[in-house]
Each structure stands twice: as C-alpha cells, then as structure tokens.
Amino acid sequence: MAKKKGEKYDAILGAAVKVIAVNGYGNSQISKIAKEAGVADGTVYLYFDSKEEMMVDVFNEFLGGFIEEIRHEMSEITNTADKLKKLVEAHLTKLENDHDLAIVCLVELRRPDPQLRQATGDVLRRYFHLIEDLIEEGQASGFFNPELNKYLARQMIFGTLDEIVISWVFNRRHSLAAQAPQVYKMLLNSLTGHSRQCS
C-alpha cells in the first residue's frame, strides 16, 4: 500500500505514541488510537495495514527524523569535542522533552516481533554509523585514543545514553538534560584516554 502522508497521518502516529505509552503495545487497540487521533477507526486503515506497520512508521518517522536532525547539527560543527557534546545533549534533551516517545521507543519496541525488530535495526544502524563516524574523525585527528576499538567505543557511547534514558523513564527524579554535562565529560575522558577540562 502506498503511503499517504498529511495531517491525519501525523495525528495518528502522534496518537499511537501517546496511547501505547500509557497502555502498552498489546493493550492499545486501533480504536483507542483512532479516538485519540480524532478520526474514525476505518480512517486508520487508509494509512496503515496493521498496528505493526504503524509502529514501524513511529520508529522510522520519530527516531529516524531525530537521527537526521543530529547528523545535520553535527555536520555544522568542526570541533570533535563539540560534536560529542552535541550528540549527548541532543539525545538526552529530545527524549526528556517527549516522555511518551521515550517509553515507546525504549520499552515497547524492544520486542521479539520480527517486523518491529527489522525496523528498529535499520534505524539504529544509521545512529551507530553516525557515532562510528565521530569516533573515526576523533581518532584521525589524534584527539581520541587511536587504540580504541571503534565498535566497542560506539557501544559504550550508545549504551551509556540508552541506559540513562531507560532509568529516567521509570524514575523521573532528575532531569535528563541536566545530566548531559557530566555524561559528556565522562565519555570524553574515556575516549581521549585521560582527563580533560571540559567547558
């Protein structure tokens, strides 16, 4: 089915995020999502063949778009340290500003469903490549430790950010964005191999 885009498409995706964040994927019927979006149940099927397809689009549209935003912002920065700082700040700030999206993308999409895992895998690989490019750039300039294994370093960066957000999702005692400076400093020190003064 050819994708139809527009205001109703966006409204349905936004409603899906809200409903699934509250009720969980299994308890989020199309009727609930349609009601939240302010459309008839049948209208949803003009845009999506199934709830699984809707979830694939949620991940591609929201997280895929977020990754492209970060890539664009980092492309305008020349300093490796500042690029890392932008990555950390953007990741934590984006998800703090949308708690429902954080739940859906970090909790509900960690499911064994093959279609969903395919979608999450495709988008996450784009994010991994972005992080790997940053590591390679830092090593080529001599700023990052040249002995670092690029893939282990990428997992350290992504895993750190991912774990911090997951903890915040279940216990929002502290601001995610407020943790960015310290997280950035710890990652920078690990990547350079020694302590640096960070602004």
CATH number at residue 35: 1.10.10.60
Inter-CA distances, 98 with 62, 118, 188, Å: 11, 24, 26
Tokens 């890539």 belong to 71
Q: pLDDT band at 60, cuts 50/70/90?
A: confident
- Whether 198 contacts 81, CB under 8 Å: yes
149 and 69 together in one domain:
yes
- Smallest CA-to-CA distance from 185 within 198, 172, 194, 167 is with 198
Domain count, the chain: 2
Inter-CA distances, 198 with 20, 93, 94, 155, 157, Å: 39, 19, 22, 22, 17
Task: Write the CB contacts of 124 (distance below 8 Å, at least 6 apart in sequence).
Answer: none
pLDDT of residue 199: 47
CATH number at residue 171: 1.10.357.10
- 105 or 151: which leads in pLDDT: 151
Residue 28 covered by a domain: yes
Residue 198 covered by a domain: no
pLDDT of residue 109: 62
Task: Write out the residue range of the structural domain in which residue 28 sits.
Answer: 1-49
The tens digit of pLDDT for each residue in 99-112 reads 898 888 777 667 66
User: What is the C-alpha to C-alpha distance for residues 95 and 175, in angstroms, rounded to an integer?
Assistant: 11
Claim: this prediction has a pTM higher than 0.75: yes
In the predicted model, is pLDDT for residue 197 greater than 90? no
145 and 61 together in one domain:
yes
What's the one-letter identity of residue 20? Answer: I
User: What is the C-alpha to C-alpha distance for residues 5 and 1, in angstroms, rounded to an integer?
Assistant: 12
9 and 57 together in one domain:
no
Average pLDDT, the chain: 88
Task: Give the DSSP per-residue string, 15-74.
Answer: HHHHHHHHH-STT--HHHHHHHHTS-HHHHHHH-SSHHHHHHHHIIIIIHHHHHHHHHHH
- Residue 110 DSSP symbol: -
- 26 or 74: which leads in pLDDT: 74
Q: pLDDT band at 55, cuts 50/70/90?
A: confident
102 and 185 together in one domain:
yes
- Whether 181 contacts 197, CB under 8 Å: no
In the predicted model, is pLDDT for residue 195 greater than 90? no
Residue 160 host element (H or E): helix 150-170
pLDDT of residue 139: 96
In the predicted model, is pLDDT for residue 15 greater than 60? yes
- How many contiguous H segments (helices) and E segments (strands) does the chain have? 10, 0
